[in-house]
A and B are shown apart, each in its own frame.
Chain A
Amino acid sequence: MYAQLVETGVKSIKPRSEMSEQERAFQEKIDSEIKIEAKNWMPDAYRQTLIRQISQHAHSEIVGMLPEGNWVTRAPTLKRKLQLMAKIQDEAGHGLYLYSAMETLGADRDEEIAKLHSGRAKYSSIFNYPTLNWADMGAVGWLVDGAAIVNQVVLQRTSYGPYSRAMVRICKEESFHQRQGYEILLTMMREGNQAQKDMVQDAINRLWWPALMMFGPSDEHSPNSAQSMAWKIKRQSNDELRQRFIDQTIPQLELLGCTCPDPDLTWNAERGHYDFGEIQWDEFYEVLKGNGPCNQERVATRRKAIEDGAWVREAAVAHARKKTNKNAA
């Protein structure tokens, strides 16, 4: 999930009897699966929650360029370099779609980005982990984009129209990247030497748990979920999505011939699901608070990019103004 722990600002769900007429009409629309559009009335808390969620999602796409940017200059073949460049380009595009979707809610892109740079807005915890070998590019594609897809496929049915439509476009491209990521790992495992196979297992060992954390806190510790579900911003719970991800990913892991860094992972025939070990929630909350391995570097890089580029943006504005004046004269 690219948006974790999104505050709704709502302590408990309002019973229908306490809703205003407007609120009731809104909830009825949601219940009958009618998409909410930019010009429709919506509760302020719904608007604010969506702004937080979509901006978090957009920030994740942008910060998510950095762990891959770390290897784009070192990709080992021309084909892999081209794939990675295409992927990074798509991510910038996804960021643009999402900021546009967010702006339909009346939010301002620059203001939301300023919140990211001052540490007031979150992005996915996964991008605070370093990419330490080339196999990380495969593992990020396979596990991280894989987790994002499990989440985003459901978000295609989210109640806010512009967000839902952005998800449809994004999912198509993400699925492509995920297959490419898996193919990077498969090639290294099937045709690679021992050093390459070790890289693959090492990447999985480091990224497995952080990928599971992408789905957010467990349901019992997810106080904002109930409201998000009632508004159909979220369509399935964190734990449901995480379980689905694990169930579909373990066979892929086995096909690679790799192991899972979870000694408690076992198939539970009775449930028809994999049981798995406890996530290190302390780590999750620390990373989300800014104390992960790369939080400082990621935010500093983004802040520097925007600060260093201020004169470029100012020049573009000044030039456009001159041109308009010239045309008017």
Chain B
Amino acid sequence: MNTRSELIQYLLRLGDSALVQGQRLCQWCGRAPALEEELALMNVGLDLVGQARNWLDYAAELLDDGRDADHLAFRRDERAYRNLLLVEQPNGDFAVTMLKQFLYDAWHLEVLKGLAQSSDERIAGIAAKAVKEVTYHLRRSSEWVERLGDGTEHSHQRMLEAIPLLWRFTVELISGDDSENHLHGAGIIADPAQVASAWQATVTRIFASATLPLPPAPSHFYLDARRGLHSEHLGILLAEMQALPRAYPDATW
């Protein structure tokens, strides 16, 4: 694979992850535990879908095959989606949602910090803006992990139940592949190994202050979102999200 197609795949990974996570947050609309959370969940989702649009716009330009960001978002099947397995997992209860958000944010912020230094100016520009947003996301989700982990006995128990639901999917956050190492070598993205160790440090710190046990490092389990091998949750999520553009392919909205 040349750098250009590696970069396209990487942009899809960023954009699809932000979009799918944003879509999951949309499903909370009207169902949050407090009014302040309605506002915050939609606010974070809005940031993420905005970032997704920026990444997919750029991916579409590089693809240069007549598809635009909307086409990429609403007409690709699950086998062509490149989002992290973590973000496509169902919302579950508020513990699952906030833990998922935290595990993603902790990774996302490190990735973006690296991208803000990218030799590709377009990427550096998008990432610089996103870093500000995701700094806020991480602060918020860390606080919730601490509140729930070190809140009541019941909330602690719910966090203990949320961890195994999500933990194995974090294997993707700490394992770079050849193409990412190559993109790093070209000065375009952060060093995946560095992202992994920074992610581990954040998670270790917040789990400790949340009085939650840190599970052992997850191992590969034969799904691989980089190759479009997703869990069964993504297809249904996309069926809902893509229904209108699929039903009316010639429509302008």
Contact = CB atoms under 8 A, between A and B. Distances in A.
Interface stretch (B152-160, B173-181, B200-208, B222-230): B152-160
B146 A77 contact: no
Interface string A14-30: 00000000000000000
Contacts of B154: 311, 314-315
B1 interface: no
Contact of A319 (B31, B52, B151): B151
Contacts of B119: none
Given A77-B253, A85-B45, A316-B147, A95 B35 contact: yes
Given A82-B53, A92-B42, A192-B251, A313 B33 contact: yes
Interface string A130-150: 000010000000000000000
Interface residues of B, number: 50
Contacts of A311: 152, 154-155, 158
Contacts of A65: 29-30, 38
A312 B94 contact: yes
Given A62-B35, A76-B244, A314 B253 contact: no
Given A302-B30, A305-B33, A134 B244 contact: yes
A76 B147 contact: no
Contact of A96 (B36, B94, B241): B36
Contacts of A196: 248, 251, 253
Contacts of B2: none
A289 interface: no
- For chain A, the bracket of interface size reads 35 or more
B46 interface: yes
Contact of B46 (A77, A82, A302): A82
A315 B42 contact: no
B49 A82 contact: yes
Contacts of B33: 305-306, 308-310, 312-313
Contact of A77 (B30, B43, B70): B70
A66 B29 CA distance: 7
Contacts of B94: 309, 312
Interface string A60-100: 00100110110011111111111001101100110110010
A78 B93 CA distance: 27
Interface in A300-329: 301-302, 304-306, 308-316, 318-320, 322
B34 interface: yes
Given A78-B73, A85-B49, A89-B43, A96 B35 contact: yes
Nearest to A301: B30
B46 A86 contact: yes
B70 A78 contact: yes
A80 B22 CA distance: 14
Contacts of B231: none
Contacts of A308: 31, 33, 93
Contact of B148 (A66, A78, A192, A312): A312
Contact of A80 (B50, B248, B253): B253
A166 B141 CA distance: 30
Interface string B9-49: 00000000001001100110111111111110011011001
Contacts of A318: 151-152, 155
Interface of A: 62, 65-66, 68-69, 72-82, 85-86, 88-89, 92-93, 95-96, 99, 134, 184, 187-188, 191-193, 195-196, 301-302, 304-306, 308-316, 318-320, 322
Given A73-B240, A196-B251, A315-B154, 5 more contacts: A68-B29, A78-B49, A89-B43, A93-B39, A314-B154
Interface of B: 19, 22-23, 26-27, 29-39, 42-43, 45-46, 49-50, 52-53, 56, 69-70, 73-74, 93-94, 146-148, 150-152, 154-155, 158, 240-241, 243-245, 248, 250-253
13 contacts: A65-B30, A66-B30, A72-B26, A76-B251, A78-B49, A78-B69, A81-B49, A85-B49, A193-B248, A196-B251, A305-B32, A309-B37, A311-B158
